[in-house]
Amino acid sequence: MKERRYRLLVTGYAISSYGTYLNLVALNLYVYAVTDRALAVGVFMAVRLAAGFLAGLGAAALLSRWAAKPVMLWANVVQAGALLLLVCAPDGLRTAALFLVSAVAGASGTFFLVAFRSSIPDMVDEGRHTWANSLMVSGRSAAMVVGFASSGVVVSLLGYTAAFLVDMATFLVCAAAVALLPPAMRGERDGGEDPAGDSRGRRAPGALVALGAAPVVALMVALRGVDALGSSSHNAALPVYSTQLDAGRPAVFVSVFWCTWALGNVLVQQVLQRYVKRSGRSVGALGFGLGTIMMSAAFVLAFAGLPWPVTVSVALLAGAADGVTEVSYSSHLQTLPAGLRTHAFGLSATVENLGFGVGMIVVAAALDAFSPLSVVGAAHGAAIAVAVVFVARVLRQRRARPARSADDPPRGTRETGPSSPAGAAP
């Protein structure tokens, strides 16, 4: 029954993700149509990222007072309501409504994802976390392909209003799936003592406590932020590079690249699920570091002017490596105690939004002076450098484990969370 409910929730999340990706295209086009200014499109995205950044800072505090279910439910309902306001807004208030939708989407999307990821250990059985994360990523990747592929058709044939109403319906479907979850799930709100506080009621910053308790997680979050900066580079450089390849049909390369990337992401989830089922092991922190190196290298090669068949293979590899990093990252953070888990996921969302937002500004300026290959190479090169440090740290902990075995506490008392060598190993 638990897994049946989880599958239903992932289905609702995939449907709402389809609406999100559909609207990424529709809203950006609509902002330009309403304002007739390219700068407005950039400000629209900046508002969304800033709202997501602030929501990441407050997500743990929100989830310490509310259970995950109502947070996920209202995150979808509020986004649907904002889209309804946009559809009904008069011409004079259309621009203001657009930026309201941007802020709501950024904040609500972050709240939903932090609540979703941090509560997965409460929604599935022990040992099924990798499967659960893999299923979630598969649904989102498939939604991305369908959303991007259908956005042009929906907007061209049905118009902006229809696209917004479709998106609103997808959020309501996801809210209905959340409503079928059990009334309450364990978490920081229901768990015992808050690790961020002490017996006298004083509180330390929860995110700092989470990172102090698990140094490997601290480096993982830092690497995730640098990786987000790398992601901003290829997102901004793809249209430029695609135009250089074929000025008459610039959308061809972008569409083929992202569809192939998503296909690699979906395929690797099937491999991961079978691997975990047969071996009983998760990918682990080492897989996260190696996957980040492979993914960043593949994105750099995608801008190297290679023949089409090779570039398609590189995009497939980038998607597969991205899928591995997403699953291993979420699964590792989910091994934290409930009281620290929400802080870690909230901080992660903040760092990712910050890295992507700052990256978009820096990369946009750099593309005016440098080639797409050099810009993407520099951004993803930074991610590779940090990932190499992370992999070295994990391997050093694995080598140190046998040396400590004689001094280990009796079996059954040793920690196995992310802060220990056992937690850091795959």
| CATH code for the domain in which residue 132 is found | 1.20.1250.20
- Its domain, for residue 150, covers 1-182
* Averaged pLDDT of the chain: 81
Q: Is the pLDDT of residue 49 over 60?
A: yes
Query: Are 222 and 129 in the same domain?
Result: no
Query: Are 141 and 214 in the same domain?
Result: no
Domain boundary among 134, 167, 182: 182
- Strand-pairing partners, residue 197, are 203
User: What global pTM score does this model have?
Assistant: 0.77
Query: Are 173 and 210 in the same domain?
Result: no
Residue range 120-153, pLDDT digits in tens: 888 888 777 888 888 898 888 888 888 877 877 7
Region 229-250: what's the mean pLDDT? 82
Query: Are 167 and 214 in the same domain?
Result: no
Asked if the structure places residue 134 within a domain, the reply is yes
Comparing CA positions, the residue from 211, 200, 226 lying closest to residue 343 is 211
Q: What percent of the chain has pLDDT over 90?
A: 29
Asked if the structure places residue 187 within a domain, the reply is no
Q: Is the pLDDT of residue 199 over 80?
A: no
Query: Are 286 and 349 in the same domain?
Result: yes
pLDDT band at 107 (very low <50, low <70, confident <90, very high): very high
Domain boundary among 148, 182, 216: 182
Query: Are 55 and 99 in the same domain?
Result: yes
Residue 86 in contact with residue 140, Cβ under 8 Å?
no
Query: Are 346 and 425 in the same domain?
Result: yes
pLDDT value of position 142: 85
Query: Are 240 and 175 in the same domain?
Result: no
**Dist. CA 201–CA 99, nearest whole Å:** 39
Q: Phi then psi for 197, rounded to 5 degrees?
A: -115, 180
For 51-55, 202-206, 254-258, which range has the lowest pLDDT when averaged over its residues? Answer: 202-206
Q: How many domains does the chain have?
A: 2
Query: Are 174 and 284 in the same domain?
Result: no
Query: Are 43 and 76 in the same domain?
Result: yes
Beta-carbon neighbour count of residue 424 at 10 Å? 26
Query: Are 285 and 352 in the same domain?
Result: yes
Residue range 12-22, pLDDT digits in tens: 999 999 988 88
Domain boundary among 167, 182, 197: 182
